Structure 1
Amino acid sequence: MSIIRIPSPLRPYTDNLKEVEVNASNVGEALVALTERYPRLKPHLYDENGSLRAYVNIFLQQEDVRNLRGQATPLTGDDRLMIIPSIAGGRS
């Protein structure tokens, strides 16, 4: 099983869990399994077209999956995924 690390702002949607174990063969399946288990999380990860929101970054072992194979990036079973929402704001 792979582990998905949940950031603090999204924990209210996962019963305040810091980590969730999922059984999936790739990153996309892992995210689907996560949002099926915690449906209130889905609109925070996906837009109305079902695409991963632009400000949601997914990392696999410290590597942004966009630099790998995106959501098709394979998982080996003991991988650790991190969801990292981008933070914006402030003055320029």
Structure 2
Amino acid sequence: MAIDISFIGDKDDYTYEDGEGVEYRYVINDNGTLAIFEKEEGGHLAGNAEPVAVYGPAAWFSVRGNARSKKDTPPARIRSF
């Protein structure tokens, strides 16, 4: 699912479109910023992944699409003895 962002003062939404092996996820941070992440289709997002875009709390009004979830985190690695 694509991510649609409504910006304050804009009539048109901005869309991050999934396709060509890329999926987008968003996170709303505690400080109100909106971070957009890009991942390979079927892949995972590392915990330290850098966002492709960050919008300040005064810039955006609403967001629709897939939020980043535990399903996007790679499985834990088990070390052998």
TM-score by length of 1: 0.26
Which of the pair has more CA radius of gyration?
Answer: 2
Task: Answer 1 or 2: which has greater strand percent.
Answer: 2
Structure with greater proportional helix content: 1
Q: With CA pairs under 8 Å and 6+ residues apart, which has the higher RCO, 1 or 2?
A: 1
